[in-house]
């Protein structure tokens, strides 16, 4: 599917490219040939075209003199053999790699940032040393340590991901002189991450997963998985869930659902850049642009284009729906389609980059706080007075005052944008890691403003969280791994929803917002009641002697 990360073929292609670079720079690679590689290529190129030219002239003379073509002289026979030999050489050297590049290329055809050097550097196809797989592990480790075998090519060379990780791990320990004891090796499916989640693995990190809940949200109960190493976090969120449940539950609304990508293009003059801006913002042109954009995927649907200028530079913020995928690959491919289409009418447009940071991805930016990115969600609940007192151990007036002075005024004094909350990032990060989301997108996904107000004559508490840019998906990337897939399954949002594409990812976004609501409620209550330091001293301090570790 278009929204998935590149598959194993793409990884092996990337490994071959790295292997090619290593082969061209290593003196041992050139020593294996009797002649320099460029000279060998030149000889076979010259031989191929020379004998082809000679044979064409000979056959033309035979046709003119009515001589049978199958009657061959010694020189003609030698020329045919030379033609065949040079053709086989050129086919093996260039043709096979050319065909494999199409077979191995990922379906979304998106150029990743870490692929740029692979494209710019010359690519000389060298077949991997398959015989290495039959060597003993100690011999391969020695080869990696001495630089004869690239560490990043072990998976493709050996054909065994588990063995490749063990060899890379041992080589790393020998090179650095430092032990990796304590970093687990066994018990992980390394095949599942090849080409999509992590390169050059040497093990995996264990992060405990706790559950909070049940979270009563929109009439349904959810047990929320949270991967964290912070004490009190799961317990605190669980207390918030208890308070929400006892008060009748929370409700949520998805306000927007659209992923964005913003390329930057440049013209020779600002006037010319403005012409493209007006063209893109003209409603009469939207249907044509949407048709071009939507070819990228059966789930991609262009919603709008927002343009802004900086001199003669133009930033184009495309926003589209992406089904149940988080959608970065999908929207990037759609943007590329539109840029290619625009090039015919604006040939002087210089495409500087597919991303110009007006998106804005994995960085704090006001545009996401104002315009939204991914799923924009608001979640609210009314907590009854007796619940505030018995479960949260505080009172409504204290919570309202603390929220105003801390989350609103305090954040304003700090110059925050998007950070008008107590600890939304805590809950977002824990759920992201547990469910296979991109942890770096926690930055914009944690934008949140927490509001508290006394209602029903001041007896009860109305609390809400508004989160304009929750970036989640239930397919693609880390969501396919076994552990993360199990956590998604626990929430009932695993994979794509065939009946209503996009509903699983939207539901996951509301669960994130509902969990943040519970976390905000509990932490603010702990602060208002003066319990924060006491609880962390009890649950978040190690009893081990760190000097002996």
DSSP 19-67: HHHHHHH-HHHHHTSSS-HHHHHHHHHHHHHHHHHHHHHHHHHHHHTT-
CATH 3.90.770.10 fits domain 209-257+375-538: yes
| Nearest-angstrom CA–CA distance, 369 and 376 | 10
Say how many C-beta atoms besides its own lie within 10 A of residue 45's C-beta.
13
Enumerate the domain spans of the chain.
Answer: 37-65+72-92, 150-193, 209-257+375-538, 263-358
Residue 377 is encoded by which pair of tokens? Answer: 């969600």
Q: Which sign, positive or negative, has the C-alpha torsion 495, 501, 505, 507?
A: negative
Which of 62, 135, 142, 536 does the annotation list as catalytic?
536
How far apart CA 68 and CA 365 sit, in angstroms, is 78
CATH number of 263-358: 3.30.70.420
Q: What is the pLDDT of residue 545?
A: 57
pLDDT at 16: 41
One of 8, 218, 438, 453 is an active-site residue; which one? 438
The tokens for 112 are: 């990743």
Give long-range contacts, CB 8 A cutoff, 24+ apart: 286-294: 289/338, 289/341, 292/337, 292/338, 292/341, 293/318, 293/320, 293/334, 293/335, 293/337, 293/338, 294/334
Q: For residue 206, what are the contacts with CB-CB under 8 A and spacing of at least 6?
A: 184
Active site includes 462?
no
3-state SS assignment for residue 450: strand
* Domains 209-257+375-538 and 263-358 equal at CATH topology level: no
Q: What is the pLDDT of residue 280?
A: 97
Q: Is 438 a catalytic residue?
A: yes
- For residue 46, the model assigns a pLDDT of 84
All residue ranges of the chain with pLDDT < 50 are 1-34, 99-100, 102-130, 546
Catalytic residue (one of 362, 393, 406, 462): 362
> What pLDDT is recorded for position 449?
98
Annotated catalytic residue within 230, 380, 385, 453: 230
Can 536 be counted among the known catalytic residues?
A: yes
């Amino acid at each position: 599917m278009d929204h998935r990360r590149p598959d194993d073929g793409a990884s092996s292609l990337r490994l071959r490219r790295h292997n090619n670079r290593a082969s061209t720079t290593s003196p041992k690679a050139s020593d294996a040939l009797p002649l320099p590689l460029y000279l060998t290529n030149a000889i076979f190129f010259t031989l191929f075209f020379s004998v082809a030219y000679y044979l064409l002239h000979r056959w033309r003379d035979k046709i003119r003199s009515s001589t049978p073509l199958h009657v061959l002289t010694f020189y003609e026979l030698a020329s045919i053999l030379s033609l065949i030999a040079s053709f086989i050489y050129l086919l093996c050297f260039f043709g096979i790699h050319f065909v494999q590049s199409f077979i191995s290329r990922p379906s979304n055809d998106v150029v990743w940032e870490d692929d740029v050097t692979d494209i710019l550097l010359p690519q000389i196809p060298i077949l991997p040393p398959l015989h290495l797989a039959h060597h003993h592990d100690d011999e391969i480790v020695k080869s990696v340590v001495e630089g004869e075998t690239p560490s990043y090519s072990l998976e493709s060379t050996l054909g065994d991901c588990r063995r490749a990780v063990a060899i890379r791990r041992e080589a790393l320990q020998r090179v650095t002189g430092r032990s990796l004891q304590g970093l687990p090796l066994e018990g992980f499916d390394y095949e599942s991450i090849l080409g999509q989640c992590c390169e050059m693995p040497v093990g995996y990190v264990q992060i405990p997963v706790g559950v909070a809940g049940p979270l009563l949200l929109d009439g349904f109960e959810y047990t929320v998985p949270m991967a964290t190493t912070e004490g009190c976090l799961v317990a605190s969120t669980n207390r918030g869930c208890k308070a929400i449940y006892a008060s009748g539950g929370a409700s949520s609304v998805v306000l927007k659902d659209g992923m964005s990508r913003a390329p930057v293009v440049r013209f020779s003059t600002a006037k010319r850049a403005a012409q493209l801006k007006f063209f893109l913002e003209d409603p009469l042109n939207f249907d044509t642009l949407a048709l071009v954009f939507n070819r990228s995927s059966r789930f991609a649907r262009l919603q709008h284009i927002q343009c802004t200028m900086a001199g003669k530079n133009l930033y184009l913020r495309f926003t589209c729906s992406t089904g149940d995928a988080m959608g970065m690959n999908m929207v990037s491919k759609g943007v590329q389609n539109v840029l290619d289409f625009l090039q015919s009418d604006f040939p002087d447009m210089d495409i500087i980059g597919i991303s110009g940071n007006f998106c804005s991805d994995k960085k704090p930016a006001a545009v996401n706080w104002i315009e939204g990115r991914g799923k924009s969600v608001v979640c609210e609940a009314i907590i009854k007075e007796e619940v505030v007192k018995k479960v949260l151990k505080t009172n409504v007036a204290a919570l309202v005052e603390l929220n105003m002075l801390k989350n609103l005024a305090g954040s304003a004094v700090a110059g925050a944008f998007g950070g008008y909350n107590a600890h939304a990032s805590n809950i977002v990060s824990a759920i992201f890691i547990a469910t296979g989301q991109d942890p770096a997108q926690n930055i914009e996904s944690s934008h949140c403003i927490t509001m508290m107000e006394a209602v029903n004559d001041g007896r009860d508490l109305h609390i809400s969280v508004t989160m304009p840019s929750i970036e989640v998906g239930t397919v693609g990337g880390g969501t396919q791994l076994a552990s993360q897939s199990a956590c998604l399954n626990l929430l009932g949002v695993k994979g794509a929803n065939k009946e209503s594409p996009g509903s699983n990812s939207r539901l996951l976004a509301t669960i994130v917002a509902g969990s943040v609501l519970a976390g905000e409620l509990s932490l603010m209550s702990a602060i208002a009641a003066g319990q924060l330091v006491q609880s962390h001293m009890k649950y978040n301090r190690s009893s081990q002697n760190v000097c002996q570790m």
